[in-house]
Amino acid sequence: MTSKTAPRVAIIGGGFSGIAAAQRLMKYGIEDFILFEQSDALGGTWLDNSYPGAEVDTPSHIYSFSFNRNDWTRTHCARDELLAYLQRTGDALNLGPRLRLRTGVRSAAWDAATHQWTLTLGSGETAVFDAVITAVGFLNVPNYPKWAEGTGFGGAIIHSARWPKGYDLTGKRVGVVGTGSTAVQIVTEAAKVAIHLTVFQREPNWVLRKGNRPYTPAERQRYRSWLGHKLLRLKHFIDYERERAGGRNQMAGTPANTKLREGALAYMRRELAGRAELIPMVTPDYPVWGKRPVYCDTYYSSIAQDNVTVAPQVVELTPDRVIDQSGTQHELDVLVLATGFKATDYLYTLSVRGTGGRELHDVWAGEPEALSGVAVPGFPNFFMMYGPNTNSGPLVYLLESHADFAARCIRDMARSGSDTVEADPAVTQRFNAWIQARLQKTVWATSNNYFRNASGKVVTQWPFTALTYRLSSKFWRKRGMKYSKNEAAS
Ligand code: NAP
């Protein structure tokens, strides 16, 4: 392969990340790309998550692309509005001709002779590209509890991210397993329509007020304008940055963390004043931010309803009963598993072979890491969106930053007449030592959460502000990404 004057790029995944990657490639003049999406439409997590009550818990105006302004109807919009926005964004970018829907990618293999990647698709067909950007999501492979496997349970068992189209909870005896961000949204809807709802809690979450409401017509008019939209985004951005600056919110025992705890406790006591007996059970014994906090205005008022019970975690299913840790048996028509995702198993469904045929998961050996979460030594021309240690807020700003890293590398490779760009191992190691030093001081490192891998290392979180990510990733990219040319193939 000669130098890649017009590199051909594969994007794998068509959610927020894949769309951001496509936009950035086009911004830098890289027009020759294909976006593979296994579903039948764009949307990613917002296509998958159709459970009742699904809505964003980040303000709509900052949970959207910088390059596609939208007239949001609510402070925190519902799933259908977001999904429509993502699909409209795909249309606005004219992604249609570059989309391969209903096309999963099974594996990617680097060819050291041609300096190209061969993708094997779900059908067995292969396709060759100069560079690959994975945008397969971070919270997308459902986590199924062991006790739910092969039990012969007579009721329905539904994972929140696999909601059967049209499945209605009305008039049913419903169980919801989990108390995370997804569970509280389902609990809110189920409490309205179920004969009885049982919430099975393993460990309670800190619940913070979300402040969700429809925008007034005057607000919508203001935020439709270029300036009004920019100013609101800036306000939300500053709120996020203040929450993360210095890291004190995420460190146990700091005045900032204590203040968060006091605020959350006061909110809980107010909401559960009529059901005070629930308070000890739903009060976490770890600091706020030990798990990702839950933002919800309706969870406490829902569990305070007469038709709702909070029970300890499930230990066993029999054909006609759900048995919780206290030994209580529950007769249910449906058990909803809001049990989250295999968050630390990056690229779980994809096999990636880099130089020397080494498989990425073998290289990681359970400890996923990358330069700025995007590039891995030994895997040239390969980039990850939302990779290891990049999870934080505001999320879409961060996703656009990952896309920028990848697209600039591909552009610079082409401009410099090179045909490979790859992360330097020593620089990658320095980057990860830097973030891990900070991560070890956070409450994430000492609580039960989906941020830590089997050995307890925090492998999902970005520990500084979003602006620090964007600025530092430019530094690490310039310092750590090495360009070269395959002379033998020229
Ligand atoms: P999650 O935060 O991982 O929560 C999973 C819940 O299931 C936890 O309560 C967990 O208990 C419980 N659980 C897991 N395995 C279990 C088992 N084997 N037995 C019993 N209980 C079990 O998952 P999620 O609620 O789906 O949320 C994941 C992330 O998605 C959120 O943190 C957020 O970032 C994102 N999200 C965002 C929105 C949005 O509005 N934008 C909405 C939903 C989700 P433990 O706490 O004890 O582990």
Q: 101-159: per-residue pLDDT in tens? A: 999 999 999 999 999 999 999 999 999 999 999 999 999 999 999 999 888 899 999 99
Q: Break the chain down into helix, strand, coil percent, rounded to 5.
A: 35, 20, 45
Q: Which pLDDT value is given to residue 151?
A: 82
The arithmetic mean of pLDDT across residues 51-62, rounded, is 98
Q: Which pLDDT value is given to residue 478?
A: 98
Nearest CA to ligand 1 atom 35: 181
| Continuous segment of H or E residues that includes residue 352 | strand 351-353
Nearest CA to ligand 1 atom 48: 449
d(CA 296, CA 385): 28
Contact 489, 1 (CB under 8 A): yes
How many angstroms does the Cα of residue 349 sit away from the middle of ligand 1? 20
Atom of ligand 1 nearest to the CA of 179: 9
d(CA 207, CA 340): 17
Q: Which of 45, 77, 81, 139 to mutate to test the pocket of ligand 1 (most atoms within 8 A of CB)?
A: 139
Name the percent of the chain lying above pLDDT 90: 96
How many angstroms does the Cα of residue 418 sit away from the middle of ligand 1? 44
How many angstroms does the Cα of residue 226 sit away from the middle of ligand 1? 36
Give the lowest-confidence range in 178-192, 239-253, 332-346.
239-253
How many angstroms does the Cα of residue 181 sit away from the middle of ligand 1? 6
Task: Give all strands of the β-sheet with 321-324 in edge-to-edge order.
Answer: 314-318, 321-324, 329-330
How many angstroms does the Cα of residue 340 sit away from the middle of ligand 1? 4
Give the Å distances, CA to CA, from 105 to 87, 125, 133, 366, 456: 21, 10, 12, 22, 30
Q: Which pLDDT value is given to residue 1?
A: 43
How many angstroms does the Cα of residue 452 sit away from the middle of ligand 1? 14
How many angstroms does the Cα of residue 273 sit away from the middle of ligand 1? 26
The arithmetic mean of pLDDT across residues 176-205, rounded, is 98
How many angstroms does the Cα of residue 195 sit away from the middle of ligand 1? 24
Q: How far is CA 350 from the centre of its chain?
A: 17
Q: Which pLDDT value is given to residue 61?
A: 98
Q: 204-236: per-residue pLDDT in tens? A: 999 999 999 999 999 999 999 999 999 999 999
d(CA 14, CA 40): 10
Contact 33, 135 (CB under 8 A): no
CB atoms inside a 10 Å sphere around CB 123? 10
How many angstroms does the Cα of residue 377 sit away from the middle of ligand 1? 32
Binding-site residues, ligand 1, Cβ < 6 A: 55-58, 139, 143, 145, 177-183, 202-203, 291-292, 313, 338-340, 448, 450
Rg (CA), the chain: 23
The arithmetic mean of pLDDT across residues 46-55, rounded, is 98
Q: Which residues of 219-252 are buried (b: 16+ CB within 10 A; e: fewer)?
A: eeeebeeeebbeebbeebbeebbeebeebebbbb
Q: How far is CA 305 from the centre of its chain?
A: 31
Please give the structure tokens belonging to residue 323. Answer: 């048995």
Atom of ligand 1 nearest to the CA of 183: 25
Nearest CA to ligand 1 atom 27: 181
HSE of 285, CA atoms in CB hemisphere, 13 A: 4
Instruction: Decide: helix, strand or coil at residue 451.
Output: coil
Q: Which pLDDT value is given to residue 2?
A: 46
Atom of ligand 1 nearest to the CA of 147: 18
Atom of ligand 1 nearest to the CA of 313: 20
Q: Which pLDDT value is given to residue 379?
A: 98
Q: Which pLDDT value is given to residue 486?
A: 78
Nearest CA to ligand 1 atom 4: 180
Query: In the structure, what pLDDT confidence band is assigned to residue 4 with cuts at 50, 70 and 90?
Result: low
User: 203: burial class by Cβ within 10 Å (0-12, 13-18, 19+)?
Assistant: middle
Query: Is the pLDDT assigned to residue 3 strictly greater than 60?
Result: no
Q: Which pLDDT value is given to residue 5?
A: 73
Q: 408-451: per-residue pLDDT in tens? A: 999 999 999 999 999 999 999 999 999 999 999 999 999 999 99
Q: Which pLDDT value is given to residue 212?
A: 97
Mean pLDDT of the chain: 96
Query: Is the pLDDT assigned to residue 202 strictly greater than 80?
Result: yes
How many angstroms does the Cα of residue 380 sit away from the middle of ligand 1? 34
HSE of 146, CA atoms in CB hemisphere, 13 A: 1
The arithmetic mean of pLDDT across residues 286-296, rounded, is 97
Q: Which of 56, 181, 337, 341 to mutate to test the pocket of ligand 1 (most atoms within 8 A of CB)?
A: 181
Locate tokens 């290289």: which residue?
363
d(CA 408, CA 473): 11
Atom of ligand 1 nearest to the CA of 143: 15
Please give the structure tokens belonging to residue 289. Answer: 């931010």
Q: Which pLDDT value is given to residue 488?
A: 59
Q: Which pLDDT value is given to residue 362?
A: 98
Select from 374, 328, 332 the least CA-distant residue to 157.
332
